[in-house]
Amino acid sequence: MSTGPPEVGWRREAWRTWRWYRRGRLPWNRLALAHELARRRVHARGRVLGEPLEMLREGRLRLGSRVLLEPDVWLTGAGRIDVGEGTFLNLGVMVAALDHVSIGAHCMLANGCVVTDADHAVSDPELPVPWQGFVSRGPTTIGDNCWLGAHTVVTSGVTIGERCVIGANATVTHDIPAWSVAVGSPARVIRSLR
């Protein structure tokens, strides 16, 4: 008697998983994404990960003109992502939306930044963490003309005002007023730019 998974079920699951994770690399999907980005005057210098094609087609991803996406930018989520015109997302930036993430115009997000409006739920001790879903403290908003240093994390329910500079490796867990420089984990304002 076999103790492993049924062959048919295992193969079907493997096929579905392969299709889900490889769909962005399929030539026709890469071409369709390039077409959707060109229509919006957006330039991607390399592959864009996540679900950008599906999100664009469903109206859940809005990219302003002249947005620049470096390789391995990851755009994902069940919610909506808005990125203002002229914004630059550098290598490996991840934007994930459960409800709504908004990044203003002419922002720069350095390598490895994470911007999200959700956290993993961890309240049920009986369930593995990946099965518990997500929780949100509200939308996440980054104002116009902001610069986020490398590996900055912006968490759920946070608003960063216009013209802010957030130092590298900062974790933004609360609102940052406009025209501020903030550093640290958790991020704290160290001076004003006015």
Residue 91 has what pLDDT?
A: 98
**What values do phi and psi take at 55, rounded to 5?**
-65, -40
7-192 has CATH 3.40.50.740 classification: no
**Is there a contact between 53 and 34 (Cβ–Cβ < 8 Å)?**
no
Residue 26 has what pLDDT?
A: 74
Residue 17 has what pLDDT?
A: 78
**Is there a contact between 105 and 143 (Cβ–Cβ < 8 Å)?**
no
Question: What are the mean pLDDT values of the chain's consecutive 10-residue runs (194 residues total)?
Answer: 59 79 76 94 94 95 98 96 98 97 98 96 91 93 98 97 98 98 97 93
Q: Where are the domains of the chain?
A: 7-192
Residue 54 has what pLDDT?
A: 93
